[in-house]
Amino acid sequence: MATVDGFRLDGMLLGVATAATQIEGGDVASNWTDWAARPGTIKDASTPARATDHWRRWREDTELMASLGVQVYRMSVEWARLEPRPGQWDDAAFGRYREELELLRDKGVRPLVTLHHFSHPLWFERDGGWLAPSALWTWERFVGEVVTRLGDLVTEWVTVNEPNVYVTGAHVFGDFPPGHRTLREGLRVYSVLAAAHIRAYRLIHALQPSRDTMVGVAHHLRPFRPGNPRNPWHRALTPAMRHLFQGAIVRAMTTGEFTRPLRRPDGIPAQSPGSGSGRYADFFGLNYYSRTTVTRFDDGTPVGVPVNDLGWEVYAAGLAETARWAWETYGLPVWVTENGTCDAADAFRSRYVWEHLEALAGVRAHGVPVDRYYHWCFVDNWEWNEGEGPRFGLVALDYETQERTVRDSGRLFAEMIREGGGTPAMHATYVAGQAYPVSDVEGHHR
Ligand code: BGC
């Protein structure tokens, strides 16, 4: 049998990522609770009320995380819990997050806290959401309160998670709340979110003027390639989609430079074009899952490629490609703020983890500073419109009993953290026998 080389990840911090709505459970007056209550929105008709019950099981989860040797943990706070009514703060909810953050600190796990991960209070949504004239002011009040109250325990922040996935879901394809379908509106929300990030960036630095303060966005990036490179329509649509989905919003949020079709909102100064480094970000947060093959205005997957349970192409080289692009374009250290796959049987997740981390080791060897990696996700969790079905966890969840069971891929990840890389022995134990399913029909997501 051919021997496999290992790889080193020296100096890179490894951990896991979650989002409040997907794990906490409970009766929370958020846009997603409201959305999930409407018939036909969630594939299995589940709601975020159950999830992983992390709001109550946070101690157990934190202990388990620490037992895997996790060094860094990306989590989010649920705005609807902290500010149940406009301008009214829930001290008990803040207290509960403080307890969790204190335990993380005691266990030596460094938190990275996301302020907006697809969810916000229902009252914010009903006021017009991000399109309300008061949206940015309301958002800044929330950001200020969180940073003031939790800032002694948190110095690393993600302002907004995946503005492109949020905007296309909520305003263009209509499969996220509020379920609107207008590109024009989506473009407006893009600009508002860019302004929201920039204002939060400045506010957090004003409130935490320490050199340790790190603020960024978790951008969802994917390679786009034409379905048929000889088809002029595919060839023209590919860069247009790349720009609309990620090029323009990433530029606006990182540098304050708004390129068409985005419009600069009032009060946001631009960086001089072309200076090549971020001004409104201290790291480049990169969420990476898959690649898009362009034949029309959707997320396509061809026949004959490796795919996960949801039919998303598995393409590890794309993580190296997007990380390199982020570094070369913006000159910021890259933090992989999410990466993972949907695999209920844990039949190929270890291979996925191996190949994606190996790809990062490769670009790091060429000078791209990829300093962090947060695996998505820790325990199987509520997957938005897909409900409880999809399994992304390094740890399996039985929703009925809430029992958590570490998967083999979780054990591999823990070994990789301990060893600071992948070894041939790990490959032989966890990866060698694994293979991906192959797509047998053309996939069109959304
Ligand atoms: C989101 C997560 C989600 C994951 C898998 C990302 O788009 O940030 O919340 O669970 O992908 O779909």
Q: What is the pLDDT of residue 2?
A: 66
Q: Is the pLDDT of residue 153 over 50?
A: yes
Give the closest residue to 373 by CA, choosing from 320, 328, 411, 423.
Answer: 320
pLDDT in tens, 316-339: 999 999 999 999 999 999 999 999
The C-alpha atoms of residue 116 and residue 122 are separated, in whole angstroms, by 14
pLDDT in tens, 172-217: 999 999 999 999 999 999 999 999 999 999 999 999 999 999 999 9
446 inside domain: no
Amino acid in position 77: V
Instruction: Kindly report, residue by residue over 228-265, the tens digit of the pLDDT.
Output: 999 999 999 999 999 999 999 999 999 999 999 999 88
Residue 2 lies in a domain: no
Q: pTM score > 0.95 for this model?
A: yes
In a domain, 444, yes or no: no
In angstroms, what is the span from residue 231 Cα to ligand 1's centroid?
32
Does residue 134 lie in a domain region? yes
In a domain, 443, yes or no: no
Q: Does any ligand 1 atom lie closer than 6 A to the CB of residue 380?
A: no
309 is a domain residue: yes
pLDDT surpassing 70 at residue 351: yes
Instruction: Tell me the per-residue pLDDT of 402-416, one tens digit each, with 9 for 90 and over.
Output: 999 999 999 999 999
Q: Is residue 369 part of a domain?
A: yes
The tokens of 94 are what? 């803040």
- Per-residue pLDDT tens digits for 258-279: 999 999 887 666 654 444 445 8
**Minimum CA distance residue for ligand 1 atom 10:** 383
Is the CB of 342 within 6 Å of ligand 1?
Answer: no
Q: Is 19 in the pocket of ligand 1 (CB under 6 A)?
A: yes
Select from 308, 376, 392, 394 the residue to mutate for testing ligand 1; criterion: most ligand atoms less than 8 Å from CB.
376
Q: Which domain holds residue 161?
A: 7-438
pLDDT confidence of residue 270: 62
Among 357, 302, 377, 294, CA closest to 74: 377
Nearest CA to ligand 1 atom 9: 19
* Total domain count, the chain: 1
Å from CA of 284 to ligand 1 middle: 17
In whole angstroms, give the CA distance from residue 62 to residue 45: 29
Which CATH number fits the domain that encloses residue 75? 3.20.20.80
> Best substitution site from 338, 374, 388 to test ligand 1's pocket, by max atoms within 8 Å of Cβ?
338
23-34 pLDDT tens trace: 999 999 999 999
Q: What does the DSSP 8-state code read for residue 431?
A: I
Residue 116 Cβ < 6 Å to ligand 1: no
Nearest to 387 by CA among 287, 310, 306, 443: 310
118 Cα: distance to centroid of ligand 1 (angstroms): 10
| Residue 3 or 117, more confident | 117
Give, using CA atoms, the residue closest to atom 5 of ligand 1: 383
Alpha carbon distance 42, 383 (integer Å)? 9
